[in-house]
Every structure is written in structure tokens, then in C-alpha cells.
Amino acid sequence: MRFIFLTILVALLVVFLNSVGPFWMVMIGIAFLSALISPNGFGGFMGGGLGMGLAWLGQCIYLGINTSSPLPDRMGELMGMGSGMTLIAITGVVGFLLGGFSGWTGILFRKMFQKTPENVYRG
């Protein structure tokens, strides 16, 4: 449940904050959300990654359809990738990685300040 909640909140944060600030500000926000919601490590990575990756992918597709711009195709040809859809897919993968590592950073930051019990028999 925390994973789904984190994914939805991250996607909303990316959509609204990405138009105002740079990507690193969004990454700090994702880390903060992950520290607050506190899923496990894998859930934080996947929640942040899916939220940011799907939001970036959706924004690229939305802008490409709305503007009917040939720019993605031209940039894909210029970079030697063939079509613009390859470039859009790479954007989604980069967003997934940035969001995933941001979520994981928030989880690890929270664990850094949690107290561990001492003198406990762990048999």
C-alpha cells in the first residue's frame, strides 16, 4: 500500500514541480517523500522510479502529440538512434533511474537516524 501511495505522490510531484524547478529539486522532493512514507528499500526505489519514469514518459508523449513537432525525430536521427520514440524511451529510463535512486536515498536517510536496539539477543 505504501508503494502505490508513494508512486502516485511521486508522479504528482514530478508533474507539478518539474514545470517550476529543475530536475534535482524534484529529486530532493522524491527523497523527502520516501523518507516520510517509509516503504522498504526496494519499494522506495521502485515507487520513486516508476513515478518519475512514467511521469517523464507521459509528458514527452503528451508534448509530442500536442505540438506535432518533428523535433524528437530530428534529434533521434541526429544522435543516431533512428526514430524519436527511441529517444522518448531513453528519457523514460533516465527518469526511472533518477527517481529510483532518489527514493532509495530517502529510505537510507531515514534509516540513518533510526535507533537500533542494543544488547538484544538475535539468536
Asked whether 55 and 92 are in contact (CB, 8 A), the reply is no
Apex CA 92: angle with CA 43 and CA 103, to 5°? 25
Q: What is the pTM of this model?
A: 0.86
Q: What are 69-105's pLDDT values in tens digits?
A: 888 888 888 888 888 888 889 999 999 999 999 999 9
- Tell me: pLDDT of 66 over 80: yes
- Tell me: pLDDT of 68 over 90: no
